[in-house]
Structure 1
Amino acid sequence: MTLVSQHAPNFVTQALIKDGTIVNDFNFKKSTKNKLVVLFFWPMDFTFVCPTEIVAFNELYIEFKKRNTKIIGVSRDSVFVHQAWQNIDIKQGGIGRLKYTLVSDIKGEIQDAYGVAHPELGIALRASFLIDKYGIIKHQTVNDLPLGRNIKDMLRIIDAVTYHEQYGEVCPANWIKGEKTMHPSKSGLIKYYQK
């Protein structure tokens, strides 16, 4: 299911916020107002590829913060399982203390609303969504369970979305911040290739 260009579904649920506190009524829409948001799903806590992604988001937290981007992670585990996993050192298979929020989706309603449930296992696929400050989904990717995400590429996408919003130009293949963009027209494309 493609949600790009649509409003991101709201949800209210339990969450473990960055100070380690459990919140029973975390409201996605209210907590992300006027911010870019990376909403990412992973299959289950205490697994193998998942902690590498969660830790990678944490290691790049400052880069997301510089871009006024909030990170929120979602799985079907309870907030208590999230909390227990944070209390285990990374080198021992845990995720350590995080600088962003982990949401509990025990009933699977959030993953269903975003269309990212595995068709047989009932857990989430490795899905990532970039949502703009108006609540519109600008980008989504979905990986099968064995395939870890490239977290740095999400930063590149954020830069592209921000650049387009500010200047109206579009970002070509493999674009990274500081490289050439183009006017969204035939003449813009020709000019891009002539440089």
Structure 2
Amino acid sequence: MKTLISKKAPNFTSSAVLNGKDIVQNFTLEQFFGRKYILLFFYPKDFTFVCPTEIYAFQEKIKDFDIRNVQIIAVSTDTEQSHWAWLQIPKEKGGIYGVTYPIVSDSNKTISYNYGVLSGDWICNQNEGLKATGELIAYRGLFLIDKEGIIRHILINDFPLGRNVHEAIRMIDSIQHYEISGEVCPANWNKGKKSMKASNSGIIDYFSS
């Protein structure tokens, strides 16, 4: 599969839960194009153990994303009813009550497939017809999308490996710094540190603040 980096983010229209309580049927990604940066992340399943740690970690930093004009959107292959039920359960009982950003249902698997994070596969068996090999759920994919709808950063983890929210914020800062200054961000760069200016040939000329 070809990488989606620097490509237009695949749009989708699906059901979602907003503000932890409201189910909507026609939630789209493109409603944010031209207005906001987007952090789109996929997780495997509702009612599991690692997933809520990530979901809450993004919620805990939501003000940091807000001041950077970033819309967080979560996706899994569960139904919107499953999302809603999980959102009603307190954290201490294994739920994700208090999460306010949209959680999208990808029950038909097409969003995960289009973003290249769907585990398992389909095979056509002569005797049984179409058959799934492995569980068709999403890996832990994360996509940073700029205001023009272009994917600028991709991270895909296997199921046991949780993501680092601070690193997602660092990458957003890098994208926005480059857009404003035209300067590139070296390894381990953080907001406020020195960046680098590239010549037209792509060779780094000098450090700058």
Equivalent residue of 1:166, what SS? helix
* Mapped contact 2:198–2:205 kept (Cα < 8 A): no
CA displacement at 1:189 relative to structure 2: 3.6
One-letter amino acid matched to 1:43: P
CA displacement at 1:166 relative to structure 2: 0.3
One-letter amino acid matched to 2:110: E
Aligned to 1:178: 192
Equivalent residue of 1:6, what SS? coil
Structure 1 stretch displaced more, 44-53 or 30-39: 30-39
Q: Do structure 1's residue 25 and structure 2's residue 26 form an aligned pair?
A: yes
Partners of 2:15 and 2:203 lie apart in 1 by 48
Partners of 1:33 and 1:15 lie apart in 2 by 21
Aligned to 2:12: 11
Aligned to 2:101: 100
One-letter amino acid matched to 2:65: F
Aligned to 1:65: 66
| Higher normalized strand content (fraction of residues) | 2
Equivalent residue of 1:3, what SS? coil
Aligned to 1:90: 91
Q: Do structure 1's residue 144 and structure 2's residue 158 form an aligned pair?
A: yes
Cα displacement string for residues 66-95 of structure 1 (whole angstroms, at most 9, x for unaligned residues) = 000000000011111111111111111111
- Aligned with residue 180 of structure 2, among 166, 174, 179: 166
The runs of 4+ residues in structure 1 deviating greater than 2 Å are 185-193
CA displacement at 1:191 relative to structure 2: 3.1
Partners of 1:169 and 1:188 lie apart in 2 by 12
Larger Rg computed on CA atoms: 2
Q: Do structure 1's residue 109 and structure 2's residue 110 form an aligned pair?
A: yes
TM-score (norm 1): 0.94
Partners of 1:91 and 1:183 lie apart in 2 by 48
One-letter amino acid matched to 1:66: I
TM-score (norm 2): 0.88
Equivalent residue of 2:197, what SS? coil
Q: Do structure 1's residue 191 and structure 2's residue 192 form an aligned pair?
A: no
Output the aligned Cα RMSD.
1.8
Partners of 1:152 and 1:138 lie apart in 2 by 17
Partners of 1:170 and 1:31 lie apart in 2 by 26
Equivalent residue of 2:64, what SS? helix
Aligned residues: 194
Equivalent residue of 2:27, what SS? strand
One-letter amino acid matched to 1:35: K
One-letter amino acid matched to 2:207: Y
Closer, same or farther: CA 87–71 of 1 in aligned 2, 3 Å: same
Q: Structure 2 unaligned runs (5+)?
A: 121-133
Q: Structure 1 unaligned runs (5+)?
A: none
* Mapped contact 1:182–1:188 kept (Cα < 8 A): no
Q: Do structure 1's residue 135 and structure 2's residue 135 form an aligned pair?
A: no
CA displacement at 1:31 relative to structure 2: 4.0
Partners of 1:102 and 1:160 lie apart in 2 by 26
Closer, same or farther: CA 50–187 of 1 in aligned 2, 3 Å: closer
